[in-house]
Amino acid sequence: MKITWIVDAGYLLRSSPGSFDYLLLKNQIESMMGTSFFESYYLNSTPSNRSDAQEGFNTWLKNAPPFGPKMHVQLYRLKTVRCKCPDCSEWFDRNVQQGVDVGIVTLLMKLAVQDQYDRLLLSIGDGEYQEAISFVKREFQKEIWLCGYEGTISPDLQCYADNILWLDDHYSKFQKEEREE
């Protein structure tokens, strides 16, 4: 069985209780499923002027085990939007993802059409993916699994999932260790 994992990095970052290691996370999920991934994809938005640390992290994600989690990295740009604070009426700039959601839908559809997976594991939370997931299940007979934290995956997605891997009780196994300075 070919299993592909697609990660919305913004979702995992926002929903996780703290910092985590992608290599340890991937190993934990594969252990929970009892098999290895055929392919893994990391999608995220980043500023156009990335730091050396960000570039290093994105390169590390591509490295094969035991040196990295061996993920295809697809990066999109951050968009700055002007927002008004509802409490104090002050204006401020906020960075938001641009392109990641469309990238995820395009990728899951393209890989389904190319028969590149039998089971798709999605680390996403937004209910807006439900139509694409429903289509892939119905038209291509693909298994759809979700992977995330309790209270962060929309019920609109949960109702289409063949299985859900809840990470809450496993966090200590992929939690990033704090370094003492």
pLDDT in tens, 62-95: 999 999 999 999 999 876 777 778 888 888 777 6
Whether residue 180 is contained in a domain is answered as no
Tell whether 99 is covered by a domain: yes
Largest Cα separation within the chain, whole Å, is 54
31-70 pLDDT, tens per residue? 999 999 999 999 998 877 778 888 999 999 999 999 999 9
Q: Which residue segment(s) compose the domain that 112 sits in?
A: 3-173
**Parallel/antiparallel/unpaired status of strands 3-8 and 39-46:** parallel
Q: Which of 30, 48, 31 is nearest to 39 (CA)?
A: 30
**pLDDT value for 95:** 66
Query: What confidence score (pLDDT) does residue 96 get?
Result: 65
pLDDT above 60 (res 174) = yes
Measured distance between the N- and C-terminal CA atoms of the chain, rounded to whole angstroms: 45
Whether the Cβ atoms of residue 117 and residue 38 lie closer than 8 Å to each other:
yes
Q: pTM here?
A: 0.88
For the four alpha carbons of 107, 176, 23 and 48, in that order, the dihedral sign comes to positive
Residue 80 belongs to domain with CATH number: 3.40.50.1010
Distance of CA 45 to the CA centre of its chain: 12
Q: How far apart are CA 116 and CA 136, in angstroms?
A: 12
Please state the φ and ψ torsions of residue 112, each to the nearest 5 degrees: -65, -45
> Is 181 a member of any domain?
no
Q: Is residue 68 part of a domain?
A: yes
Would you state the pLDDT for residue 74? 95
Domain count, the chain: 1
- The pLDDT value recorded for residue 179 is 55
Q: Using CA atoms, how far apart are residues 82 and 27, in angstroms rounded to an integer?
A: 40
